[in-house]
Amino acid sequence: MSRTIVIDPVTRIEGHSKITILLDERGEVSDAHFHVTQFRGFERITQGRPVHEMPAIMARICGICPVSHLVASSKAVDDILAVEPTPTGADLRRVINLGQIVQSNALSFFHLSSPDLLFGFDADPAVRNIVGVARHSPQLARDGIALRKWGQQIIEWLGGKRIHPTGIVPGGVAEPLSAEVRDRILAGVPEAIAAVERAIAWYKSDMLRWEEEAATFGNFRSAFMGLVDRQGNVDHYGGWIRVVDADGKYLADKVDPRTFNDYIGEAVEPWSYLKSTYWKAMGYPDGIYRVGPLARLNVAERTGTPRADEELEKFRWRVGRVAGSSFHYHYARLIDTLHAVEKIEELLHGPDILSKHVRSVAGINRNEGIGVSEAPRGTLMHHYRVDDDGIVEWANLVIATGHNNMAMNRAVLQVARHHVKGETITEPMLNRVEAVIRCYDPCLSCSTHALGQMALAIDLVGPDGRVLDTLAR
């Protein structure tokens, strides 16, 4: 007799999904699938629209990281216009993109993941939430809320709106920065740095408690992908694509992001609407790689800012030069955030940051454009084709959750193997499957390019295809 486990819904992640765990004849876990069950075809609705509308449409794919789509989309349109944004325009885009990184990382770590870390993965869900955190460790909760707010304010002040900002446009940004806004953002820097550093200190002091999770939460060998600048430091906005293997060896370096299609393939599995991307040279499904904060630290030499570099050194000393466990996404996310805050400060002190030259203007000069940037969850790629009048004929997005799709499946499988015993879904196992997915901080609304809320269910399915147990919440 064979069995399957399905988990539905994964709370505290964004979107709509379901997990199936397949058991073999002996009742052992044979495979696990993370399905994304919704699809609304965002690429389709963009067909026939003028390409200048793309950034505004794309910013609406997702209420969680609109700026990331705005940046990647504007870069793709820059490519079609064949223009470089002005230096100040590019720097202002960087600042707002980093504001997005800060706010989204803070949401992931403090609001969604810190309850598990603080109370244990099996604690009562009634306490295992941000309100429980606020009661137990008020400073931690305050820091999370303050960081997120600071990031959101940057988006709002520079982008015009917090939810669907419009300040980033093809060619640069819509408005120059005023000294007043610059100083307002800078005033928040010391507190933001202090908040992340407190969280890092707490994480380091407690991380031994999570040894078991670190060993079983998606701890496997895979490649990693991220953007790096010319010095090989983390670059959230531009630069080159670098891919390293599990030992840190370069699989590719100095790859022009515009050529990503030569390196990355997209596979479709019948059980999910979410395409799985793979490293072409290694084929499917061997070409598994991860993106996001962990990948950014694994591929880069350094972050390029002093405090984050100091922490990165300690990180590598603790978890290795190329950290393999997906559990370390949490730790990496904190260092990524620290770097983002420092980088915002550095950029805002730039001599030309208040320049009025923030936008390059041009017409349609190419029929195809690609824009690549780092979103909070990893490398984000927008690819458009337009006719000679700039009307969109075709669009494709490769999003972080797609890059991580295979890795998430592998991580769920590992956790299931470790925790599934018998034919029922137990609470501890449900909690851990949820928690391992949360390491990747997947945002499923944009993965399927659908709008809306996500929920998760687990089915336990036997070899004969019969559903043995189902758990949803």
Partner 1 sequence: MTTVYTLTIDGRDVAGSEGQTVMEVAEENGIAIPGLCHLEGVHDRGACRLCMVEIAGSPKLAAACMTTIAEGMEVTAHSEQLLEYRRAVTEMMFMERNHVCAVCVANNHCELQDTAAALGLTHFDLPRISPKVDIDASHRLFAIDHNRCILCLRCVRVCDEIEGAHTWDIMHRGLETRVQTDMGIPWGESTTCTSCGKCVQVCPTGALFEKGRPVAGGSKTKRPFLPWLKVVQEERGL
> Site residues (CB under 8 A) for partner 1?
48-50, 52-53, 55-57, 59-60, 160-161, 164, 166, 169-170, 174, 361-363, 389-391
Largest CA distance in the chain: 71
Q: 215 or 362, CB closer to partner 1? A: 362
Which residue bears the tokens 């917090």?
Answer: 162
**Residue 454 Cβ vs partner 1, minimum distance, rounded to whole Å:** 22
**Residue 394 Cβ vs partner 1, minimum distance, rounded to whole Å:** 16
**Residue 389 Cβ vs partner 1, minimum distance, rounded to whole Å:** 4
Pairing of β 17-23 and β 264-267: unpaired
**Residue 150 Cβ vs partner 1, minimum distance, rounded to whole Å:** 23
Q: 7 or 61, CB closer to partner 1? A: 61
**Residue 391 Cβ vs partner 1, minimum distance, rounded to whole Å:** 6
Q: 247 or 388, CB closer to partner 1? A: 388
Cα 370 to the chain's mean position, in Å? 19
Q: Are 156 and 165 in contact (CB under 8 A)?
A: yes
Q: 131 or 362, CB closer to partner 1? A: 362
**Residue 60 Cβ vs partner 1, minimum distance, rounded to whole Å:** 6
Q: 55 or 151, CB closer to partner 1? A: 55
Q: 174 or 267, CB closer to partner 1? A: 174
**Residue 118 Cβ vs partner 1, minimum distance, rounded to whole Å:** 39
Q: 49 or 198, CB closer to partner 1? A: 49
Q: 78 or 469, CB closer to partner 1? A: 78
**Residue 438 Cβ vs partner 1, minimum distance, rounded to whole Å:** 30
Q: 63 or 125, CB closer to partner 1? A: 63
**Residue 58 Cβ vs partner 1, minimum distance, rounded to whole Å:** 10
**Residue 386 Cβ vs partner 1, minimum distance, rounded to whole Å:** 9
Pairing of β 457-462 and β 368-375: unpaired
Q: Using omega within 30 degrees of 0 as the cis cutoff, is the peptide bond preceding 66 cis?
A: no
CA distance 412 to 416: 6
Q: 259 or 367, CB closer to partner 1? A: 367
